[in-house]
């Protein structure tokens, strides 16, 4: 492999000049088509391949790479934004995906990241960060699959769901599964910062910007450089902070308080909320344009009451952790006690279940949890409205794969909406862009 050689597959001469500007030390060999590039590849043994085109056009490069002992990374470039192309190429093994127009600094960052990317063998053998999200339910396993697909892109993600469902766990897993995994993951709970301090916390400030600013301090955006910024409770930010955040999402530029210079940032944003942002928009508390910028790809984490089969494995995982940390003796739960837990409404979701387990590790002296061991809060609360004579059927009984289940759900929504994408996306509680991507994936019209 030639340490200074790049193979460029594109008819765009301006793109070649841009690469020369970003990496002046590289010796760039250009080919107009993928076929020409495949012929040139063995001759020059490139360190990096930069290919412009759709997933359909560039897939032969990745197929050839799988037959090569030490393949170079592929940096894919699209002439327009396409979630479908990005997901398909990244899943097939591309190192990164950019869309035109491309800034020189963004291209340099992508090239540097691609050249540092671990080999496919190393990547495939790494720990799956989504394994920390305990679930057996089809709903949650589908959410994890969708999260993995968007993780390998650089798309902004909006995670919605009730408090305690695990939105932060998903944000962490997405970061650690992404190409930004070697960069920092910086989190900020927007509801936990007073409004008058939130802008300074997000964007940083220069010395003398306000009375107590004795020295300059970088904001969370600068701290997340090269990585991911997770903004929890995004619905709580002020109108002024919303306007500044919109500018960051549009131009990747921040304005620290007291600084006359704007600064470029290279970050990915994941936002989360347990509130109805559309209701906030109608009430004038949240910007519609910011909502669309954040809601590029939405993941709705289902509450615990919608996935009762997850209660037992989550409870057992908490017990196992308690055993390792402080020698907890509890090792199992009886079916009767489990039924009590499944009849509880779980307004606090997994966080509430964790509190119940903590209470049990203190009060329960037996090795197996019985109904009498459970706290009154889960025994006296109103049960979920599932008639006992008509138990909720398990989706696992149908023997469907994730793909089959997802396709049937899409088809049903499209039938009920008579093919109206806006109505179908409302029924499925996903954005129209997400729905169109899923339709294209399954060739649905």
Question: Tens of pLDDT along 310-348?
Answer: 999 999 999 999 988 888 899 999 999 999 999 999 999
Q: Where in the chain is the domain with CATH 1.10.10?
A: 400-441
What Cα–Cα distance (Å) separates residue 229 from each residue in 148, 255, 342, 368?
18, 16, 35, 42
Per-residue model confidence as pLDDT tens digits over 240-286: 889 989 999 998 888 877 777 888 889 999 999 999 999 999 999 99
What is the predicted pLDDT for the residue at 389? 39
Mean pLDDT of 171-195: 89
Q: Where in the chain is the domain with CATH 3.40.50.2300?
A: 5-123
Checking phi first, is residue 443 left (phi over 0); if not, alpha (psi -120 to 50) or beta? left
Residue ranges of alpha helices (H) inside 308-431 are: 311-326, 335-342, 349-363, 376-379, 402-416, 421-428
| Structural contact between residues 175 and 270, judged by C-beta atoms closer than 8 angstroms | yes
Fill in the DSSP letter of residue 186: E
Which residues lie below 8 Å from residue 412, measured CB to CB, with a gap of 6+? none
Does 305-379 carry CATH code 1.10.8.60? yes
Give the angle subtended at the CA of 160 by the CAs of 315 and 296, to the nearest 5°: 135
Lowest-confidence segment of 113-122, 175-184, 436-445 by average pLDDT: 113-122
Q: Average model confidence (pLDDT) for the chain?
A: 85
HSE-CB at 373 with a 13 A cutoff on CA atoms is 22
Whether residue 175 is predicted with pLDDT greater than 80 in this model: the reply is yes
Whether residue 404 is predicted with pLDDT greater than 80 in this model: the reply is no
Whether residue 198 is predicted with pLDDT greater than 50 in this model: the reply is yes
Classify residue 445 by burial, with Cβ atoms within 10 Å: 0-12, 13-18, 19+. Answer: exposed
Nearest to 169 by CA among 306, 283, 299: 299
> What's the chain's length in residues?
445
Determine what percent of the chain is predicted with pLDDT higher than 70: 89
Confidence class of residue 127 from pLDDT cuts 50, 70 and 90? low
Most confident range, picked from 17-31, 268-282, 428-442: 268-282
Instruction: Give the Cα separation of 64 and 71 in Å (integer).
Output: 9
- Tokens 């409302």 locate to 426
Q: Is pLDDT larger for residue 76 or for residue 391?
A: 76
What is the predicted pLDDT for the residue at 273? 97
Whether residue 37 is predicted with pLDDT greater than 70 in this model: the reply is yes
**Fold (CATH) for 400-441:** Arc Repressor Mutant, subunit A (1.10.10)
HSE-CB at 116 with a 13 A cutoff on CA atoms is 11
Q: Is pLDDT larger for residue 413 or for residue 330?
A: 330
- Tokens 């989504």 locate to 130
Instruction: Give the Cα separation of 103 and 394 in Å (integer).
Output: 50
Superfamily of domain 5-123: Response regulator (3.40.50.2300)
Q: Where in the chain is the domain with CATH 1.10.8.60?
A: 305-379
Lowest-confidence segment of 1-5, 49-53, 98-102, 269-273 by average pLDDT: 1-5
Q: Where in the chain is the domain with CATH 3.40.50.300?
A: 132-300
Three-class secondary structure of residue 434 per DSSP? helix
Confidence class of residue 124 from pLDDT cuts 50, 70 and 90? very low
What is the predicted pLDDT for the residue at 413? 82
Tokens of 233: 């409770």
Could you say which of 1.20.1260.10, 3.40.50.300, 3.30.70.360, 3.40.50.510 is the CATH number of the domain covering 132-300?
3.40.50.300
Tokens of 377: 């809060």
Element spanning 149, H or E: helix 138-151
């Amino acid at each position: 492999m030639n340490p200074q050689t790049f193979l460029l597959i594109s008819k765009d001469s301006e793109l070649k000049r841009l690469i020369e500007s970003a990496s002046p030390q590289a010796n760039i060999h250009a080919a107009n088509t993928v076929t020409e590039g495949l012929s040139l590849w063995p001759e020059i043994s490139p360190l990096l391949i930069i290919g412009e085109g759709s997933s359909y056009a560039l897939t032969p490069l990745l197929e050839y790479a799988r037959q090569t002992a030490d393949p170079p990374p592929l940096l894919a470039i699209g002439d327009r934004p396409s979630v479908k192309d990005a997901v398909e190429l990244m899943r097939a093994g591309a190192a990164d995906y950019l869309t035109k127009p491309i800034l020189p600094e963004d291209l340099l960052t992508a090239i540097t990241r691609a050249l540092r990317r671990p080999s496919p063998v190393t990547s495939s053998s790494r720990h799956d960060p989504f394994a920390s999200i305990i679930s057996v339910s089809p709903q949650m396993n589908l959410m994890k699959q969708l999260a993995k697909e968007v993780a390998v892109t650089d798309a902004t993600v909006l995670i919605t769901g009730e408090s305690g469902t695990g939105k932060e766990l998903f944000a962490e897993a997405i970061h650690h599964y992404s190409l930004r995994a070697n960069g920092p993951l910086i989190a900020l709970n927007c509801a936990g910062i007073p409004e008058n301090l939130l802008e300074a916390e997000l964007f940083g400030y220069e010395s003398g910007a306000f009375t107590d600013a004795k020295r300059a301090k970088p904001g969370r955006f600068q701290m997340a450089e090269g990585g991911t910024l997770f903004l929890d409770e995004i619905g709580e930010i002020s109108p002024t902070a919303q306007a500044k955040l919109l500018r960051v999402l549009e131009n990747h530029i921040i304005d620290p308080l007291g600084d006359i210079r704007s600064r470029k940032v290279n970050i990915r944003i994941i936002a989360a909320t347990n509130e109805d942002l559309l209701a906030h928009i109608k009430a004038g508390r949240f910007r519609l344009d910011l909502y669309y910028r954040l809601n590029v790809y939405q993941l709705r984490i289902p509450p615990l009451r919608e996935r009762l089969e997850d209660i037992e494995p989550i409870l057992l995982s908490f017990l196992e952790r308690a055993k390792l940390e402080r020698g907890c003796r509890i090792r199992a739960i009886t079916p009767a006690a489990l039924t009590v837990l499944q009849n509880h409404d779980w307004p606090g979701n997994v966080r509430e279940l964790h509190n119940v387990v903590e209470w049990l590790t203190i009060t329960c002296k037996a090795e197996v949890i019985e109904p009498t061991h459970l706290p009154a809060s889960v025994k006296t609360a109103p049960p979920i409205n599932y008639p006992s004579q008509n138990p909720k059927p398990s989706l696992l009984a149908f023997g469907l794969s994730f793909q089959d289940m997802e396709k049937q759900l899409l088809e049903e929504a499209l039938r009920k909406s008579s093919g109206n994408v806006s109505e179908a996306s409302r029924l499925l509680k996903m954005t129209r862009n997400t729905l169109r991507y899923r339709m294209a994936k399954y060739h649905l019209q």
